[in-house]
Amino acid sequence: MTGRLADKVALITGAGSGIGRETTQLFCAEGASVVAVDINEESAVETVEIARGAGGDATAQKADVSSAIDCEKMVAAAESTYGRLNILFNNAGIMDPSDGDSVSTTEETWDLTMDVNAKGVFLGCKYGIPALQRAGGGSVINTASFVALMGAATPQVAYTASKGAVLAMTRELAVVHARENIRVNALCPGPLKTELLMKFLDTDEKKRRRLVHIPAGRFGEARDMAQAALYLASDESLYVTGTEFVVDGGITAAYVTPE
């Protein structure tokens, strides 16, 4: 198999839709074997069927990333199926529609969001990094967000805090594992035209409030993020670790640029 990820094995969480599904297709097209993980098994299977239909090598795995047992099993599945793990993409995440400011957000929404978005990355690394060590090194990509670097125009305190945790965790793990040939980077997407965000921005007013801040004039696409993840997964980024890889249509630059 040829391609930028030839002979590599990748595990992608949240692979049933959005960024995860697009990245699965792209990684397979670039020569990787992919374990496509999602809490919705049917969605994971559908992603795998698309990848296989295009000639890719992929396997579906059901897992709740907030469960230690499930995360241990998904990594074990990668090693038992393909013999090793080279790329870990901790991409699964949620954005609860009831997430708001600190006054209106419930404790239940906070706990659920942190369990999936922050604890899920921790558990992915807890079980995935030892697999990368056994393989002699590799790449960890954690999906954070531009809101980890700045506030969001539409209040979403639990989501923003969870992505801030992902960013801080990424920096520490990058330092800890740098001498082990393991690089750890945070992918920070801007607002994307995905089902996750469109459900959260459930009115035209909310969409306009977010869109007006993006210099590119459009929401990002899942494929934009997949292309960024491909770079971070490939050997082209061997000297890149501990970064905030921001792919946001210029929104963070617009916030910090003086008028």
User: Known catalytic residues?
Assistant: 159
**178 φ, ψ (degrees, to nearest 5):** -60, -35
First to last CA, the chain: 51
Residue 98's closest CA among 89, 107, 88, 90?
A: 107
How far apart are alpha carbons 113 and 162 in whole angstroms? 7
Yes or no: say if 157 and 109 are a contact pair by the CB < 8 Å rule.
no
Yes or no: say if 140 and 175 are a contact pair by the CB < 8 Å rule.
no
Q: Would you state the structure tokens that stand for residue 20, as one six-digit string? A: 């995860």
Three-state DSSP state, 231:
helix
Q: How distant is the alpha carbon of residue 83 from its chain centre?
A: 23
Q: Is 98 exposed, middle or buried (0-12, 13-18, 19+ CB in 10 A)?
A: middle
Cβ density class 168-203: b for 16+ within 10 Å, e for less: ebbbebbeebeeeebbbbbbbbbbbebebbeebbee
Count of other CB atoms within 10 angstroms of residue 134:
12
